[in-house]
Amino acid sequence: MCGIFGGIMKDGNVAPIIHQALKRLEYRGYDSVGEATIYGEKLYIKKDCGKIDEVHKIHNLDSLPGNIGIGHTRWATHGAPSEINAHPHIDCGGQIAIVHNGIIENFAELKLELENKGHIFKSRTDTEVIAHLIEEAYKNNPSIRLADAVLETVRKLEGSYAIAVISSREPNKIVCARNESPLVLGLGENALYCASDIPAFLPLTNKAVIIEDGELVTLSLEGYEIRKIADSSIVTRAPKIIDWTPEMAVKQGYPHFMLKEIHEQPACLRNTLRLQEHYLDLMTTFLDRAREVFLVACGTSYHACLAASYMFSKLAFLATYPVIASEFIEQHGKSVNIESTILAVSQSGETADTLAAVNAARQRAATILGLTNVVGSTLTRVSRVYIIQQSGPEIGVAATKTFTSQLSVLAQLALRLAKKRGKISQDEMDFLEAKLKQIPDIVAKIIEKQEENVKAVAKKYRDAKVFFFLGRGISTATAYEGRLKLIEIAYVPAIAFPAGESKHGPISLVEQGFPVVFICPKDETHRTIIGNIMEMKARGATIIAIIEEGDEEVKKLADDYIEVPKGVPDVLSPIPFVIPLQLLAYYMAVEKGHNPDVPKNLAKSVTVK
């Protein structure tokens, strides 16, 4: 996730406006920043890695001349944070500058083609191909308009993008386009803006036009023109008046970052399906070779590991050991060795307990693999191979979108490993891959259809003193995660167990009205979980069930139920089934008057042991 901005003004210098807009977009990424402007038919650029204030201090971003320009604040996906990889990117001739938010899936093929045609690339980003493709369009047709050159270019791109382009060949225009990454226009008095989101220009204008997927826009001082990328047809869309307060604006109208991040999950999950095959394959090879594999993490990331241990076992017949990082050294520190592989999972890549476990294992020559959300984090530096999960910055202390993204990446690894080991047929592989592709839409549907329902459930149980979360099989991980969310932001004590274990002790707590949340996908565990529900009901428990649509059997037993679409294979089920639990924790916290974004005593990144 990155932030892009473009501005064209009748009078005055645009650079300070871009700078301030980027500050308002900084929550979307903050590892590098850059601006490009045009003045006197010449392109000017300043960019570097570091936070906006740091880069501004060194380079004085505001000193760029001209009334038209673009800017970018980066959250690295392809290529580490560095001056060269910072946006804007330019073509060989230094006439075209581009900023981009998204992932170009086919950049490697395009880059090769362009290199064969003589283009010289400077960065390791996927974005740079766009600048060279536009240059190529000009080469093929010197009289082409910038808008048409960009149109030709975006038709060749696969993946997600919101881009803004300027060219000294047509110094009075900004061309922007969108596919699966957000883009909005701001209409000022004597100025026009394009941005990743509304807060970027809200202090300047509250008149906005939302750009949709598959649209290209040309901005000039005369106004804006929207066209469809597919057939170049003109689109007419009236502006909207935005009445957000500045605080609401940063959260895009959501009351809290946590809710915004829950809603971002379909987009983040789509990003996980665009990971570079090369890294997935490389990690799969290491997992395949390993004599023993430890999945090491803390908190929510540990729950992703727990779910992954079921995925690896069921799909690839690989036994893995999920270990809470703070226990790793005590439990395995003496036995871990050169033949051991540690897959460390950490959203931040900076969690002290996880890094301590990794360092102990490294000292004993174990192979370290990393899954993280933060390029350049310590975990990436100590890992032999690492994968960036592409969730974008997560501000809410409670992990939500980063959890489901971790699950998606781990499922892809398990599937690849299964294929490599010949453990599943091509038909099964195709089926599971197709299901994985449907997951973002399934998650979107759950949020759309069930949010109000979950809100009502949260209201009903707001005074409950304690909760049970029970699941079987892979849903045990979902139950643990539902419990953690509720504890950490709603401050409600909660207990989670594999449902089969509850009769070995925890059931003694149950009395009339005791709320028990059951995770009930219609997988092999369904029959037995019904038995567990009966056991709880017999002792007076109140049952809240997360079920598949149309699961009449559990519906009859439950006091309240939340439905998720049917047909999700068990190995993928934690992704959709955790969504209602995230919403439940969120609305319970809100009902109780707590701010879910900043739970007491907690930090987003726990850098002490």
Contact window for ligand M6R (CB under 6 A) among 35-43, 265-273, 448-456, 599-607: 599-607
For residue 559, what are its two tokens? 């006091």
Report the residue number, 301 or 405, with the smaller CB distance to ligand M6R: 301
Q: How far is the CB of 306 from ligand M6R (least distance, A)?
A: 12
Return the ∠ at Cα 203 (arms to 200 and 204), rounded to 5°. 90
Site string for ligand M6R, 143-182 (x = CB under 6 A): ----------------------------------------
Q: How far is the CB of 302 from ligand M6R (least distance, A)?
A: 7
Contact window for ligand M6R (CB under 6 A) among 1-9, 273-281, 361-369, 394-402: 394-402
Among positions 292-331, residues that touch ligand M6R (CB under 6 A) are: 298-301
Q: How far is the CB of 359 from ligand M6R (least distance, A)?
A: 15
Report the residue number, 110 or 479, with the smaller CB distance to ligand M6R: 479
Contact window for ligand M6R (CB under 6 A) among 256-264, 343-351, 453-461, 544-552: 343-351
CB 375 within 8 A of CB 270: no
d(CA 536, CA 551): 19
Q: How far is the CB of 407 from ligand M6R (least distance, A)?
A: 13
User: Which of 280, 538, 320 lies closest to 416 in space, CA to CA?
Assistant: 280
Among positions 450-489, residues that touch ligand M6R (CB under 6 A) are: 484, 488
DSSP tag of 488: I
Report the residue number, 3 or 482, with the smaller CB distance to ligand M6R: 482
Write the single-letter amino acid at 604.
K
Cis amide bond preceding 88, omega within 30: yes
User: Which of 489, 474, 533 lies closest to 311 in space, CA to CA?
Assistant: 474
User: Sheet harboring 234-235: ordered strands across?
Assistant: 89-90, 96-104, 159-167, 174-179, 215-220, 223-228, 234-235
- Residue with the two structure tokens 């009449």: 552
DSSP tag of 290: -
Contact window for ligand M6R (CB under 6 A) among 61-69, 110-118, 162-170, 396-404: 396-404
d(CA 468, CA 135): 60
Candidate list 49, 176, 604, 609, residue with the active-site label: 604
Report the residue number, 89 or 401, with the smaller CB distance to ligand M6R: 401
CB 204 within 8 A of CB 181: no
Report the residue number, 196 or 346, with the smaller CB distance to ligand M6R: 346
Question: Strand 385-388 relative to strand 367-372: parallel, antiparallel, unpaired?
Answer: parallel
Contact window for ligand M6R (CB under 6 A) among 16-24, 305-313, 391-399, 415-423: 391-399
604 counts as catalytic:
yes
> Which residues are 216's β-sheet partners?
177, 227
Q: Which residue is nearest to ligand M6R (CB)?
A: 299
d(CA 146, CA 139): 12
Packing angle of the helix pair 52-59, 15-24 (nearest 10 deg): 160
Report the residue number, 542 or 582, with the smaller CB distance to ligand M6R: 582
Q: Which of 133, 397, 446, 564 binds ligand M6R (CB under 6 A)?
A: 397
d(CA 537, CA 558): 9
Q: How far is the CB of 301 from ligand M6R (least distance, A)?
A: 4
Among positions 398-417, residues that touch ligand M6R (CB under 6 A) are: 398-399
Number of residues that bind ligand M6R (CB under 6 A): 17
Q: How far is the CB of 351 from ligand M6R (least distance, A)?
A: 3
Report the residue number, 23 or 592, with the smaller CB distance to ligand M6R: 592
d(CA 76, CA 72): 12
Residue 30 phi, psi dihedral angles, 5° rounding: -155, 30
CB 577 within 8 A of CB 482: no
CB 183 within 8 A of CB 176: yes
Q: How far is the CB of 402 from ligand M6R (least distance, A)?
A: 7
Report the residue number, 486 or 545, with the smaller CB distance to ligand M6R: 486
Report the residue number, 252 or 605, with the smaller CB distance to ligand M6R: 605
DSSP states along 333-384: TTT--TTEEEEEEESSS--HHHHHHHHHHHHTT-EEEEEES-TT-HHHHH-S
Q: How far is the CB of 482 from ligand M6R (least distance, A)?
A: 11
Length, in residues, of the chain: 609
Site string for ligand M6R, 344-383 (x = CB under 6 A): --xxx--x--x-----------------------------
Q: How far is the CB of 101 from ligand M6R (least distance, A)?
A: 23
Using rule CB under 6 A, residue 127 touches ligand M6R: no
Kindly list the residues in this chain that would bind ligand M6R in the complex (CB under 6 A).
Answer: 298-301, 346-348, 351, 354, 397-399, 484, 488, 602, 605-606
Positions marked catalytic: 2, 604
